[in-house]
Amino acid sequence: MDIITNPEMADAAPTPHQPPVIRREDYKPFPWLLPVTRLNFELGVETTRVTSTLSVERNPAGDASPTITLNGDGISALTIRIDGKQTSEWTMDGGNLLLPLPGASHEIEIVTEIDPSANSQLMGLYASNGMLCTQCEAEGFRRITFFPDRPDVLSTYTVRMTGSQDQFPVLLCNGNKSAEGVGENGTHWAEWHDPWPKPSYLFALVAGDLVVNRGSFTTMSGREVELAIYVRDGDLDRTGHAMASLIKSMKWDEETFGREYDLDVFNIVAVSDFNMGAMENKGLNVFNTKYVLADPDTATDGDFDGVEGVIAHEYFHNWSGNRITCRDWFQLSLKEGFTVLRDQLFSQDMQGEAVKRIEDVRILRSVQFPEDSGPLAHPIRPDSFREISNFYTSTVYNKGAEVIRMMRTMCGPEAFRKGTDLYFDRHDGEAATCEDFILAMEEGAGLDLTQFRLWYSQAGTPKVDIAMAHDGDTATLTVKQTVPPTADLADKLPMPIPLKIALFNRETGKHEGEHLIVLNAAEQTFEFGGFAQPPVLSVNRGFSAPISIERDVPDEDLVFLAAKDDDSFARYEAMQDLIVRHLTAASGGALDDSAREAARMAIAQAFGSILSDDALDDSMRGELVMLPGLTYLAEQQLIADPAAIHTEREGLKAWLGARFESELVLIHQRVSKLPFGLDSASRGARKIKTQVLVYLAAGNPELASKMAAAQYNAADNMTDRQGALMVLTGLGTAARTDKLIDFHRRYKGNELVVDKWFALQASSLHPHAIEHVKALAEHPDFTMRNPNRVRSLYMAFAANPQAFHAADGEGYKIIADLILALDPINPQTAARFVPSLGRWRRIEPARAAMMRAELERIAKSDSLSRDTFEQVTRSLG
């Protein structure tokens, strides 16, 4: 037996349980070009026969290899022909097919047969409620046919589909439909041609019995585009918002980025079994129903925004992703970070910048910051992976967007547009890298990004420490940064950090204008003259950099900013800081009763001024009074005790709820008078209405229960109804049971609303939430086959601090059991539950030991998927 001494060799000799590590530095161009791909599908739910005809030519930029390697996963070839002649001269390497190819160009024809009904992973071609659809990103195409399934191999596709006219009246594929006809035995066929060369991950096919909402859009150069949204019968009247969002997105991308759509049709299909939110396949976007279907009776305001944002995101990929794609999967943030920024800017323009920015930062800090400080931390451009599906992360998406947003902040929107124009012009039709994007920004926007490139290679959230000194009339800021070590890299270099700041005069409550300072060393000082009195510092306005800040300022400065800052994000931040500081100290056991009282009084002062500020709109008021979430609070401590944080957080909520009871009740009465509308005033009314109930439920549960039941009964929309039910679900009153029964009965059969019913119970504050989750897992509506349903029960549960972190470890066991049961069915979705247990190092020792033990129990299974294996080993490592 060989003894492996070089750790690198361990990767080179994978065992079935040790999938190989793929490294960015090993990139090599594919030795063959595939100018033309023809696919023929004979469709059936149980058997689909695929004939692929590939024209291949040697790639002058690649190795002169005598064979071609075509990726395959779980498929076998029925016949293979090279240049028209059947051949048996092929070998397999794992799932991949190796074919000897002696010449400079050849035609390869391969026939495979697949069973879509058996595909529970939902990757490749699968069946969902009798319809056939595909998901190919990142590596699903290889489950359909043998192909160089990598993003840098671009080909022009022509696809013919034949199937039963009854079962599949609608036949869709990428590009434009070029021909159709009727065949024998009740079949029909359609042929689609996509003129734009694309990688295999953007391939899509849909066949089913669907109804359609049609629209149209005239592009900036006057071309007519036919728009269509396909859904199941019965769902059509919930597609209006998606269609309106699509049209707005198309217009906005023309106006803001100069990007025009490039096919005659744009099709969207909604499917209820889907692993992610949606997929940007060229001309044929496939969506999770959650991000298409919305009407006021079944979707909340948040759901409406989700539809608008995801429709925009997928549409924007047509340029940032499809016209310019990624050279390899390490460059994923090239398309995802940039497209998230584009969708965020779009939503800011549609809904208002202030609230949208707060919502985006909240997601970043509650999901990405913990990822960046845990065992799964990775740079936005990772250096290695075992399973690419594990890298569709908040880091690649949300931090990726923040990194490009910082470029925009440093150069301004006009120069930024010049940079993106150059990028789109220069790389149109190519598979590009993050470096290509950076170079275009340097040249087009006039930025020097030499040091800034570190944001692409260093993981970890930088910590910035700010102190202000005042002497004479000068205020001096001393700013220090550290980039914390992560599993992949211990020693980090300082990065450029753009900070928007303002210095407020304490008396006038005003400042003389905003400054942008860029911290690019470990420590720097910045001087500002003209201050006879020490000013109040407002920093990282608009969240100009994705960092965490330590600032040693008195509570009174935060109270000042929470009441007066003219930057809405900074105002929100001051309020959050005030609360975070207090809860961190209190849950760490550092406060006696009088210190707790003093801190609460400071919070109450700010809270009161927010409740009574007539100049504030209710939507912003709703944001400002929202308490920081438990994950974000836990993140502030090196080792957190989730139970202690939860108790303190609930204690503060109850204290504020009791103290401000009459003000809160008056607000509820005021906003309840407003009729339903989709305008921002009535949306704001709905937001604050439920926030009021949240505080009252903690401060005066009896009263809250009555008010919530009344809100539920009066509701003519899902936002009010779900908000009221959420509050009731956490209470032990009779109204809880009544309304939960009513809600289920009212929406029986509506999958997306039943998902809400599961999620509300799994995330509730009720002391018996664990028992409820166990019972719900046995409910006839629960199924492991539908990712939305699994997430609605278990993701909601894993994010429920008191239930998931139950002192006896029962919550951890539930999630570990789920991972083991789901992994053989849907590994991608199973692996997404691992990070909740992976936080063990940052949790107090008794719980940490139980979390770790559950991870070890999972690791013992000898049949783990590549997805779950990678996440579990990294989490233990």
Footprint of Zn ion (CB under 5 A): 336, 339
Asked whether 177 and 113 are in contact (CB, 8 A), the reply is no
**Out of 191, 280, 308, 565, which residue is the one contacting ligand 0A1 (CB under 6 A)?**
280
Out of ligand 0A1, Zn ion, none, what residue 599 binds, judged by CB under 5 to 8 A for its kind, is none
* Cross-strand bridge partners of residue 286: 269, 279
Q: Which is nearer to ligand 0A1, 316 or 695 (CB)?
A: 316
Backbone angles phi, psi at 837, to 5 degrees: -80, -25
**Out of 229, 276, 620, 685, which residue is the one contacting ligand 0A1 (CB under 6 A)?**
276
* Cross-strand bridge partners of residue 162: 42, 189
Q: Which is nearer to ligand 0A1, 275 or 331 (CB)?
A: 275
What is the spatial distance between Cα 698 and Cα 12, in angstroms, rounded to a whole number?
57
Stretch that binds ligand 0A1, among 278-286, 538-546, 566-574, 626-634 (CB under 6 A): 278-286
Q: How far is the CB of 433 from Zn ion (least distance, A)?
A: 17
Q: Under the criterion CB under 6 A, does residue 343 sit at the interface with ligand 0A1?
A: no
Q: Under the criterion CB under 6 A, does residue 826 sit at the interface with ligand 0A1?
A: no
Any idea of the CA torsion for 860, 862, 866, 869, to the nearest 10 degrees? 10
What is the spatial distance between Cα 787 and Cα 792, in angstroms, rounded to a whole number?
8
Distance from the Cα of residue 539 to its chain's centroid: 27
Out of ligand 0A1, Zn ion, none, what residue 135 binds, judged by CB under 5 to 8 A for its kind, is ligand 0A1
Q: Under the criterion CB under 6 A, does residue 285 sit at the interface with ligand 0A1?
A: no
Q: How far is the CB of 368 from ligand 0A1 (least distance, A)?
A: 15
Alpha helix ranges (H) inside 458-567: 555-564
| Token output for 225 | 């585009």
Out of Zn ion, ligand 0A1, none, what residue 276 binds, judged by CB under 5 to 8 A for its kind, is ligand 0A1
| Phi-psi label, residue 83: left if phi above 0, alpha if psi -120 to 50, beta otherwise | left
Evaluated on CA atoms 648, 650, 652, 654, the torsion sign reads: negative
Q: How far is the CB of 319 from Zn ion (least distance, A)?
A: 12
Q: Which is nearer to Zn ion, 149 or 336 (CB)?
A: 336
Stretch that binds ligand 0A1, among 156-164, 272-280, 297-305, 357-365 (CB under 6 A): 272-280
- The tally of CA atoms less than 13 A away on the side-chain side of residue 813 is 7
Catalytic residue among 314, 336, 573, 870: 314
Q: Under the criterion CB under 6 A, does residue 720 sit at the interface with ligand 0A1?
A: no
Out of Zn ion, ligand 0A1, none, what residue 449 binds, judged by CB under 5 to 8 A for its kind, is none
Distance from the Cα of residue 163 to its chain's centroid: 35
Asked whether 805 and 643 are in contact (CB, 8 A), the reply is yes
Out of ligand 0A1, Zn ion, none, what residue 660 binds, judged by CB under 5 to 8 A for its kind, is none
Q: Which is nearer to ligand 0A1, 133 or 814 (CB)?
A: 133
Q: Which is nearer to Zn ion, 73 or 336 (CB)?
A: 336
Out of Zn ion, ligand 0A1, none, what residue 540 binds, judged by CB under 5 to 8 A for its kind, is none
Asked whether 110 and 86 are in contact (CB, 8 A), the reply is no
Q: How far is the CB of 434 from ligand 0A1 (least distance, A)?
A: 16
Query: Position 662: which residue type?
Result: S
Q: Euclidean distance between the first and final Cα of the chain, in Å?
A: 25
Q: How far is the CB of 425 from ligand 0A1 (least distance, A)?
A: 24
**DSSP state letters, 37-65:** EEEEEE--SS-EEEEEEEEEEE-TTS---
Task: Report 473-512 residues binding ligand 0A1 (CB under 6 A).
Answer: none
- As a whole number of Å, the CA-based R_g of the chain is 28
Out of Zn ion, ligand 0A1, none, what residue 277 binds, judged by CB under 5 to 8 A for its kind, is ligand 0A1
Out of ligand 0A1, Zn ion, none, what residue 275 binds, judged by CB under 5 to 8 A for its kind, is ligand 0A1
| Token output for 608 | 């009161």
Q: Under the criterion CB under 6 A, does residue 278 sit at the interface with ligand 0A1?
A: yes
Helix (H, G, I), strand (E, B) or coil at 748: coil
**SS3 labels along 164-220:** ECCCCCEEEECCEEEEEEECCCCEEEEEEEEEEEECHHHCCEEEECCEEEEEEEECC
Q: Under the criterion CB under 6 A, does residue 392 sit at the interface with ligand 0A1?
A: yes
* Cβ burial, residue 250 (10 Å; 0-12/13-18/19+): buried
Query: Position 717: which residue type?
Result: N
Q: How far is the CB of 155 from ligand 0A1 (least distance, A)?
A: 19
Preceding amide of 138 cis, omega within 30: yes
Q: Which is nearer to ligand 0A1, 279 or 483 (CB)?
A: 279
Out of ligand 0A1, Zn ion, none, what residue 279 binds, judged by CB under 5 to 8 A for its kind, is ligand 0A1
Q: Which is nearer to ligand 0A1, 41 or 392 (CB)?
A: 392
Backbone angles phi, psi at 812, to 5 degrees: -65, -40
Out of ligand 0A1, Zn ion, none, what residue 577 binds, judged by CB under 5 to 8 A for its kind, is none
Q: Which is nearer to ligand 0A1, 325 or 584 (CB)?
A: 325
Out of ligand 0A1, Zn ion, none, what residue 137 binds, judged by CB under 5 to 8 A for its kind, is ligand 0A1
**Residue 464 neighbours by CB distance under 10 Å:** 20
Evaluated on CA atoms 670, 675, 680, 685, the torsion sign reads: positive
| Phi-psi label, residue 110: left if phi above 0, alpha if psi -120 to 50, beta otherwise | beta
Q: Which is nearer to Zn ion, 427 or 847 (CB)?
A: 427
Stretch that binds ligand 0A1, among 233-241, 273-281, 739-747, 804-812 (CB under 6 A): 273-281
Q: Which is nearer to Zn ion, 340 or 464 (CB)?
A: 340
**Residue 9 neighbours by CB distance under 10 Å:** 11
Question: How far are the Cα atoms of 3, 116, 195 from residue 13, in angstroms, in the given order?
Answer: 12, 33, 42
List strand residue ranges (DSSP E) for 360-439, in order: 384-385, 431-432
- The tally of CA atoms less than 13 A away on the side-chain side of residue 202 is 32
* Cross-strand bridge partners of residue 36: 55, 156
**Out of 336, 372, 565, 617, which residue is the one contacting ligand 0A1 (CB under 6 A)?**
336
Task: Report 128-147 residues binding ligand 0A1 (CB under 6 A).
Answer: 135, 137
Task: Report 302-321 residues binding ligand 0A1 (CB under 6 A).
Answer: 313-314
Catalytic-residue membership of 314? yes
**Out of 29, 169, 195, 277, which residue is the one contacting ligand 0A1 (CB under 6 A)?**
277
Q: Under the criterion CB under 6 A, does residue 275 sit at the interface with ligand 0A1?
A: yes
- What binding mask, one character per residue, do residues 680-699 give for ligand 0A1 by CB under 6 A, x or -? --------------------
Q: How far is the CB of 119 from ligand 0A1 (least distance, A)?
A: 12
* Cross-strand bridge partners of residue 68: 99
| Token output for 585 | 């100290």
Out of Zn ion, ligand 0A1, none, what residue 392 binds, judged by CB under 5 to 8 A for its kind, is ligand 0A1
Q: Which is nearer to Zn ion, 191 or 336 (CB)?
A: 336
What is the spatial distance between Cα 610 and Cα 613, in angstroms, rounded to a whole number?
5
Tell me how long the chain is.
877
Q: How far is the CB of 140 from ligand 0A1 (least distance, A)?
A: 7
**Out of 39, 279, 447, 760, which residue is the one contacting ligand 0A1 (CB under 6 A)?**
279
Q: Which is nearer to Zn ion, 336 or 371 (CB)?
A: 336
DSSP state of 23: E
User: What residues line the site for ligand 0A1 (CB under 6 A)?
Assistant: 135, 137, 275-280, 313-314, 336, 392
Positions annotated as catalytic residues are 314
